[in-house]
Each structure stands twice: as structure tokens, then as C-alpha cells.
Amino acid sequence: MFKALLSGICAGAVLCASVSAEPLRFAVFGDIQEETAEGHAKDLALAERINEANPEFTVFVGDIQGGGPCTDQQREEAVEVYSRINGPLVFVPGDNAWTDCKLKGKGDWHPLERLEKLREALVPKGKSLGKNPMPLVQQKGEYRENARWMRKGIVFVTLHMPGGNNGLYPDRYAFEEYERRNKANLEWLQAAYDEVKSKNAKGLVVLFHGNPGWDDIYWRATAYRDFKSLLANEGEELSVPILAVHGDSHIFRVDKPLKFKDGRTRANHVTRLEVFGSPERGYVLVTADENNPEIFSFSAVEVEGHPGQ
């Protein structure tokens, strides 16, 4: 049964301000991984639920399949789901449909071949998906899925940063690809910072798939370390709220994720939103209101819970 779980959630002790006359509302969801005909039907129904909320645009933050074999079917079914979205839909890649595709049980695919198929189907040049696409500024070069746009004083940026330790597997191809992609991601995030400054933006939304290990209080040398450092340090210099939106670990939550060992917040300017993930099915409607000191507030809508609910 369709039910609204939360309304106007703000991280920490932040108070949610009253809604302004024309706030921006956008939807985010991800990790649709029930690889059955019934699961696909439910994903199509989820698209219709998002349409009922009438967001200005929607972003899918990665993973169109679960742990089964990599096939073209999952990609084709994802295309059908996104085509049902009335407004613009921006796609962010996850790991299960490309970086994992050489693992046992996933098929004997080359991951970069799978990634190129994703781009062909889900990352059109210069624009989003959805029934009414919107123009996007895409990063030049190999990673055009890194996109940027601005709405009502808020800068949005997508980064190709999947789960599974940012796609870094212990082989030469994966390391070289990670090195290229990590460099591109850092440059693209810095470009978003530059736009925030030049446009005098009120906030920044960074959207990606992989949970970067926010609880890693010692900041060990994971493949997300550079990103977290840039978000915490140079990001603070922007003096605007930053919302980091991701999927991957399938737990809906809103918090201030960058902490010191004693629990104190390291970077109060960063709020994390993690979206629902299989077997739960839902979306989060985000409101950006410049009259709200924290800019962002959240309404989480769970369409279907765990089996038995």
C-alpha cells in the first residue's frame, strides 16, 4: 500500500522552514534489483507513483539489476521504466550492470563493453531521458554520464562513482579505468564548485551511486578517499549547503555523515540522503527552498516494503 513515511525531514538538529512560494521539488530513487516479471511490473508502477508527485525532474542513482547474470534484458527493462517518467529523468550508473559483469555467476562479459551499452541506451548526448527531456551539460571525453544543470539557484552534478569500492577490482584493466574515472570525477566536482561560485548558487546537489564509506572515521585509502576529501574540505569553502545523494547499501536515511572519531561532525555543510533499495521500493521527494537555512527538506514515499509488510 502506498504510504508517505516521512515529511519535512531535516538532518541533525536543523529546523525545517516554511515552504517558499516557488520551491524546487525533484525526485530521486535507485537500486531496483528484483529481476522478475513481477518486479519489473512493480518498477513500472513506481514510475507512475513518481509521476503523481509531479517533480520538476527525477534522478536515478544507480543499479538497474541485482546479483544475477548481466544481460541485455535488465537494461531494456530499465529503459521502459524511465520512459514512463513524465518529466526529465537523469541516469547515474551503478556497479551491478557493468563493473561486476566479469564476476562468477554474472557472465563472461568485459565490463567496458557493458558500460558502453549502458551509455548508448541510457545516456543520450546533451540531454536527459524521460518523456520531456531537459538539456544537460555533460563532461567532455570518456565520461559523458557526468552531467550538470542548474535550477532555481541550485547546482546539480552527477558523478560516475559506483558501489563496490568505486569499481576498483584487483586487475590491471580495472585499476587503469578507475584512475581515469576518478580523475574525471574530481575535475567534474571542482567544475561544479566553480559554477556555484560564478552563479552565486544557494546550494549544491551531488548525485552518485556508491556508498563511499562515510563511517570510515580514519579515512583509509579506499577508492572514495579523494572524493570525500574534496567534499569535506574544498566543499566547505563554498559556504553553501551540499546534499550528497546516493544508493548502494539499500537503507533510506538522512544524516550528517562526515564525523570525527568522537562523533562530532567533521563537515556540517554536507547532508547525506541515501535512497530506498531492493527489496524496498520507493522514492524520495526533495524540496529545495532558499528560505530554509539548510535549503533541503525531504519526503520519503515507500511504495512497497519488505516481504510480508
Please state, in angstroms and rounded to a whole number, the distance separating the CA atoms of residues 226 and 149.
Answer: 23
261 pLDDT band, cuts 50/70/90, is low
Distance CA 229, CA 196 (A): 18
141 domain residue, yes or no: yes
Answer yes or no: is 203 within a domain: yes
Say whether pLDDT at 201 is over 80. Answer: yes
* Residue, of 8 and 88, whose pLDDT is higher: 88
Residue 130 belongs to what domain range? 3-304
Other Cβ atoms closer than 10 A to 77: 20
* pLDDT at residue 12 in the model: 39
Per residue in 286-301, is it b (16+ CB within 10 Å) or e — as a string?
bbbbbebebbbbbbbb
Mean pLDDT computed over 148-155? 97
pLDDT at residue number 225: 92
Q: Using 50, 70 and 90 to split pLDDT, how confident is the model at 188?
A: very high
3-state secondary structure of 46: helix
Which pLDDT score, from 0 to 100, does residue 9 have?
43
Phi, psi dihedrals of residue 243, rounded to the nearest 5°: -105, 120
pLDDT of residue 47: 96
Q: Which of residues 305 and 58 earns the better pLDDT score?
A: 58
User: Domain count of the chain?
Assistant: 1
The predicted pLDDT at position 43 comes to 92
CATH of the domain at 85: 3.60.21.10
Of 22 and 296, the structure prediction assigns the larger pLDDT to 296
Confidence of residue 5 (pLDDT cuts 50, 70, 90): very low
Question: What confidence tier does 102 reach under pLDDT thresholds 50, 70, 90?
Answer: confident
Choose between 35 and 203: higher pLDDT: 203
Average pLDDT over residues 245-263: 87
Cα(50)–Cα(280) distance, rounded to whole angstroms? 15
Q: Are 11 and 294 in contact (CB under 8 A)?
A: yes
Terminal alpha carbon distance of the chain? 9
Angle at 95 between CA 185 and CA 306, to 5 degrees: 125
- Who wins on pLDDT, 180 or 217? 180
Q: What is the pLDDT averaged over residues 158-168?
A: 93
pLDDT at res. 205? 98
- The whole-chain average pLDDT of the chain stands at 87
What H or E segment, with its residue span, contains residue 73? Answer: helix 72-83
Write down the pLDDT at residue 68: 82
**Domain assignment of residue 29, yes or no:** yes
CB-CB contact of 240 with 269 (8 Å): yes
pLDDT of residue 104: 83
309 located within any domain: no
Residue 173 within a domain: yes
Q: Is the pLDDT of residue 263 over 80?
A: no
C-alpha cell at 95: 556497479
Q: CB under 8 Å to 87, separation ≥6 — which residues? A: 54, 55, 56, 57, 58, 130, 131, 132, 134
